Each structure stands twice: as C-alpha cells, then as structure tokens.
Amino acid sequence: MPSTIYLIRHAESAHNVTKDFTLRDPGLTPLGHTQAAALATTFPALDTVAVILASPLTRTIETALAAFGGLLADPEDVRVILDPNLQERSDLPCDTGSAPADLSARFPALDFGDLGDEWYRKEGVYTADDAAVAARAAAVRGILCELAGALGDAEGRRDVAVVTHGVFMKFLAGDQGIDLPKAGWKAFTVRQGDGGAVLVPVE
C-alpha cells in the first residue's frame, strides 16, 4: 500500500491575530495550541505516521509537538525531520526563523543539529522569490518521494505528516488555490513525474 502524505497547515499564531508582521518567529496563540492539540484526537493517521517533516519555525514546531508529541516517546517508531526548505516564503520578521541554539533551549526534546547556524537568512536558496520557493518545494517533493519509496512496503507505519505554512504549501502542492484552515490537513500520494516528483490529491 503506498504511503500517504499529509500536508498540515500550522495552527493559529500570534501574527495571524495581531497582523503585526514585525514579530520575529511568533509562536501559537492559546487558540492555536487548542487547534493543534485537537489534531492529536482528530487526525486520521496517528497509527500510521512514520515521519514528521516540519518547518523549523516556532509555530510549526509547536503545532507538530502538540499534534504528534505523543508519538515521539520511541524515536525508533516515528522520526522527526526539521527541514528549512519548508519555511514560509516571505522575508518578513514573522516568517524568519530563530537560531538553532535558541530553538534547542525552547524545544530540548528535538535535535536541531542538522540546521545551519544561519538557516533562517532569506538569501541563496531561501531567497523570498517565486523561483527560489518553487525550487525548495521541488526539493521537498523529492524527499517525500524517497520517503514514500522507503516506507511504502512497511507494515503499520508508512505515512508522512508535513507541517508547514499556507503560502509555501501552494508551491509544495503545486496548487495555488489550496487554502487550508489553521491546523487543517489534506492527503496526497507522491509519484515521480516527467519533471520531478508531484503530489496527487487523495480524493
């Protein structure tokens, strides 16, 4: 049975409410924490998720931990991968991440060792323009294709949860019309196409 890829939008964060986009790497609001925690009881694939792939911004990390923290007691069962390619598109302070040392202090249960010290700088591959964001999305789809290939024949846990951001998700899904609610999700499969890996919605 093929792996299912679940794209998940982070729960409500402070800048979503205040519209203060100068907030650096804001966390979830109280309602956001409630929305994310609700995923722990409503998400349909808690028993089959093998990998949690998340943006390293605070609001996506908090969403992932609130939703899937109960799965992380045994890292042999469920892996967490923090991928800076999943960060949001813009270079506003609200979409700019934090240094690994700061993240480690706030989230000691997670490993930030693979993040570069300045992963959050919006330059190079992380430049805030459509071409760079499209390239990041293609790279993530390639990773998802590899994960699905490795997990597809597994018994039990074989699915991937991807916790990311609203605008980046449009590039990742290849669908500029996708607009999930906060803490909303949509299921896909992934396959190799002529131009690289593509996500195919599960109807």
- Between CA 26 and CA 6 the distance in angstroms is 24
Determine the pLDDT at residue 107: 96
Ramachandran assignment for 190, one of left (phi > 0), alpha (psi -120 to 50 degrees), beta (any other):
beta
pLDDT at 152: 73
Residue 203: per-residue pLDDT: 82
Q: How many domains would you assign to the chain?
A: 1
Burial 129-148, CB ≥16 within 10 A → b, else e: eeebbeebbbbbbebbbebb
What is the domain range of residue 118? 5-201
Question: How confident is the chain (203 residues) per 10-residue block, as mean pLDDT?
Answer: 93 95 97 97 93 97 95 79 97 97 95 93 95 97 95 83 98 97 97 92 92
Whether this model's pTM surpasses 0.75: yes
Q: How far apart are CA 43 and CA 37, in angstroms?
A: 10
Residue 75's pLDDT is 62
pLDDT of residue 194: 85
What is the rounded CA–CA span in Å between residue 117 and residue 99? 6
CATH code for the domain in which residue 122 is found: 3.40.50.1240
